[in-house]
């Protein structure tokens, strides 16, 4: 079985996208998750303090992050803010925050 790669098509994603990065993931390192997220034009990144199985180990925290990510991309006019400072982690909060739409 070959290793999965999205390099050929990920830059073509053209729908509002939010990525939840699991900050203590040992299966898919956070650096790889962030690199994937940055390859998606306009993607919002939410960091969650947890590992690959956080959705099982802490379903409430995961659900809170998932709800925030879904809500963020559903807002009309939401755009990507400046990239985060290296190493910045916030549980259930956007690292790439939203810039409110112009009035």
Of 79, 54, 6, nearest to 20 (Cα)? 54
What are the pLDDT digits (tens) for 28-74?
999 999 999 999 999 999 999 999 999 999 999 999 999 999 999 99
Q: Could you tell me the pTM of the whole model?
A: 0.70
**Which residues does residue 79 pair with via DSSP β-bridges, in sequence order?**
99
The pLDDT, as a whole number, for residue 86 is: 38
The Cα-based distances of 38 to 13, 43, 46 in angstroms read: 11, 7, 12
pLDDT interval class at 87 (50, 70, 90): very low
- Cβ contacts of 21 within 8 Å, gap of 6 or more: 30, 33, 34, 37, 45, 46, 47, 48, 95
Structure tokens, 72: 């963020």
The pLDDT, as a whole number, for residue 92 is: 38
12 in any annotated domain: no
Residue 6 has pLDDT above 50, yes or no: yes
4 in any annotated domain: no
29 in any annotated domain: yes
Domain count, the chain: 1
Q: What percent of the chain has a predicted confidence (pLDDT) above 70?
A: 71
Domain hosting residue 61, numbered range: 22-97
49 in any annotated domain: yes
Residue 75 has pLDDT above 60, yes or no: yes
Of 72, 61, 71, 66, nearest to 96 (Cα)? 72
């Amino acid at each position: 079985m070959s290793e999965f790669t999205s390099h050929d098509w990920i830059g073509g994603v053209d729908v509002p996208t939010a990525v939840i990065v699991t900050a203590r993931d040992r299966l898919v390192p956070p650096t790889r998750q962030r690199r994937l997220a940055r390859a998606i034009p306009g993607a919002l990144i939410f960091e969650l303090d947890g590992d690959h199985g956080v959705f099982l180990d802490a379903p409430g925290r995961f659900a809170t992050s998932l709800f925030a990510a879904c809500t963020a991309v559903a807002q009309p006019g939401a755009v990507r803010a400046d990239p985060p400072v290296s190493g910045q982690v916030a549980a259930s909060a956007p690292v790439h925050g939203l810039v409110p739409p112009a009035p």
